[in-house]
Structure 1
Amino acid sequence: MRNLHGKESYKLQEGVDVDQGMPSSNLLGAQVYTADGVEIGVISELQIDPAAGIVRFACITRPERDAVLMPWAAMFRVKHKRGFVLTHRGEELLQQNKG
C-alpha cells in the first residue's frame, strides 16, 4: 500500500495503539486542565504554521473570562481525560493572563 507521498506504508497489526495524529474535530472543543485537574476551558481555535505544517497555538476559551492564546508546546494530550493538560510553562502563561 502506498501513502499520499508515494512511499510504502504498512498496516499495523490489530490492537496496536499508535498515536500519529488526530482529526481537528477531536481537538476543537477538547477540555484543558491544570496539572491539578482543574478544568480551565476548551480549545476553541487552532493556529497553524503553514510553512511547518504544525499547530503553533490553541485559543482556550474560559468561562466568564477572556480567551487565552496558549502555545501548543505548553500542553500535552491526556487520553483518559480526552483533553489536554498544561505544562508548568503553560500554567505560568495562564497566571500572566488571569484577566
Structure 2
Amino acid sequence: MKRTLIRYKTKPEMADKNAELIAGVFAELKTARPDGVRYLSLRLDDNSFIHLVETEASDGSSALPTLAAFKTFQSGIRDRCAEPPQVGSVTVVGNYRMLGEL
C-alpha cells in the first residue's frame, strides 16, 4: 500500500475552476468504482488544495490517472497554480474515523 500527498496553491481566479475539475474526478470515481484506490481532496481558505491518494499496489500504480475526468483535471494544472504541486509519500500517524479502517 502506498499513500501520496499532493499540495499546491492555485491562482485566486482559478480556484473555483480547479474545484470543479476535482468534483468531476469524484463523480467519475463514483460511477467507475475502481478497486485499489482511495482518494481525498481538500480546499483550504487560501486557495491551496491537498490531495491524499492511497493505492493498494506496492508500486503505487492506480486507476486514477486512467480516468477521463482526471486527465481533464491534470490538463493545465500548472497554469492554474500560483505554487506548483509538491508530491511526497506520507504515513498516517493517527486516524479516528476520518479515513476509514486502516
Give the greater-gyration-radius structure (CA).
1
In the superposition, the TM-score normalised over structure 1's length comes to 0.29
In the superposition, the TM-score normalised over structure 2's length comes to 0.28
Bigger proportion of residues as helix: 2
Structure with the larger RCO, 1 or 2 (CA within 8 Å, 6+ apart): 2
